[in-house]
Structure 1
Amino acid sequence: MSTRTLARRAALAGVGLTAAFALAACGGDHSTDGGHGGHGGAPAGAVSAGGSAAAADSADVMFAQMMIPHHQQAVRMSELAGSRADDPEVKQLAERIRAAQAPEIATMTGWLTAWGRPVPSGSPAGGQPPGMDHGMPGMMSDADLVRLEGAAGREFDRQFLTMMIAHHEGAITMAREELADGRDAGARAMAQQIVTSQQSEIDLMRRILARR
């Protein structure tokens, strides 16, 4: 296992322990019934794709806890394209990203609820979520997002594509670590889907950049 992975898990373990104590103090029910958690939950069908506490290991939990804020940032970036992008293909791609990743956020939220593990909440729109200062590959900084929010037209397209390529590459890195270390069937299936779909989107974004 890589040093980067160990550092990332150590950072996440501290966050998970703190959040677990907080949840216990609130008297929350962490049963694995696949029900609705305090963060919106996920459709019952989505939880059925994973969510077995017996099957999940620490890699599966880390994958979901880190990929949720990672996806949230991608969705936010994609939403900006609706009013700022110039290229119709960029707008279509942004909507494709949003439509794919928003349901995955709900699914992973459902898994964590079923596993009785903390669901990331209160993450900033940019940068690393609180307590996760290490190992969130591809995440944009606050300054990156401010710059993207202030752009429009062709300049927005260029920044969006450049940032989203890096963002997707980070997601693929995390997904491959889940495939190497995770054991939950649903989490592994999602990780493989992320690798396949986001690599395809990276290829498309590079082609769009090349013609601009």
Structure 2
Amino acid sequence: MQRSIMFAAAAIAALSLAACSREEAANNPNNPGQSEPVNAAQDAVGAAVGQTSAATLGANTKQGYVMNAAVGDMYEIAAGNMAQQRSKNADVKAFAKMIVTDHTAASNQMKPLAQAAGETPPAEMDQRRKGMIDNLKAASDADFDKVFLTQQVAAHEEALTLHQGYAGNGDEAGLKGHAAKVAPKIQAHLDKAKQLAQGAGAAH
């Protein structure tokens, strides 16, 4: 337990640092978007932080699970909608449509279960996911699919850790059932994202 608390503290510290850096960048009118290598590095750090958060608080507490699942769904819907507009690849567009459909359904299914458990899902994404969306917006047309799919692999690996973890360790029956139901779809999304990422030369 102490180890989990230490991991969680480290994750929170990293998220705070990332949020401060992004706020500074956002307040600088001469820096509308960082360079692509910086954006990619931020996404990689965010992925590591997300895995830690999902494996600790998210997989073991109803509050952590609801928060992580809700913002994860919001990120997927926003990213998927953007990919349907910007990608020139029919397979990527079809994948994006699938994740929007599935994550919208998952979000709608979780809301009453969260409320029954005494939890209120957040109304907007956290700073880390907002940063990922910003980096996706900043990607060039030529690199969009690669950036999108790299993010998708990391995001679905995190989501799989979260849902499988809470399904096994959770303390609230309704949410545990939801986590167990969603996990196979997350696995299918991850498998498809990895397959597409290979063709796009994305990191995974």
Name the TM tier (shorter chain). 0.5 to 0.7
Gaps of 5+ in 2: 13-59
Q: For the structure 1 residues 199 and 154, does the alpha-carbon distance in structure 2 shift closer, same or farther, using more than 3 Å as the test?
A: farther
Q: Which has the higher helix share?
A: 2
* Structure 2 counterpart of 1:90: 92
Q: TM-score, normalised by structure 1?
A: 0.61
Gaps of 5+ in 1: 13-57, 128-139
* Structure 1 counterpart of 2:116: 114
* Structure 1 counterpart of 2:105: 103
Distance, in Å, in 2 between the alignment partners of 1:87 and 1:5 is 43
The alignment yields a C-alpha RMSD, in angstroms, of 2.8
* Structure 2 counterpart of 1:175: 163
Cα deviation, residue 173, structure 1 = 1.0
Q: For the structure 1 residues 98 and 194, does the alpha-carbon distance in structure 2 shift closer, same or farther, using more than 3 Å as the test?
A: same
Distance, in Å, in 1 between the alignment partners of 2:2 and 2:78 is 30
Larger Cα-atom Rg: 1
Contact 1:178/1:191, CA 8 A, preserved across alignment:
yes
Q: State whether structure 2 residue 196 is matched by structure 1 residue 194.
A: no
* Structure 1 counterpart of 2:83: 81
Q: For the structure 1 residues 207 and 112, does the alpha-carbon distance in structure 2 shift closer, same or farther, using more than 3 Å as the test?
A: closer
Distance, in Å, in 1 between the alignment partners of 2:121 and 2:67 is 6
Distance, in Å, in 2 between the alignment partners of 1:146 and 1:164 is 14
* Structure 2 counterpart of 1:71: 73
> Which segments of structure 1 move beyond 6 Å, counting only runs of 4 or more?
none
Distance, in Å, in 2 between the alignment partners of 1:154 and 1:186 is 43
Distance, in Å, in 1 between the alignment partners of 2:6 and 2:112 is 26
- Partner amino acid for 1:3? R
Cα deviation, residue 66, structure 1 = 2.1
Cα deviation, residue 6, structure 1 = 7.2
Cα deviation, residue 114, structure 1 = 2.2
Over the matched positions of the two proteins, sequence identity in percent amounts to 20
Encode CA deviations 1:138-192: one digit per residue, 9 max, x unaligned. xx461x3222113354411111100010000111111122022125444223322
Encode CA deviations 1:107-144: one digit per residue, 9 max, x unaligned. 222122223333322434x51xxxxxxxxxxxx461x3
- Where 1:123 maps in the other structure, the secondary structure is coil
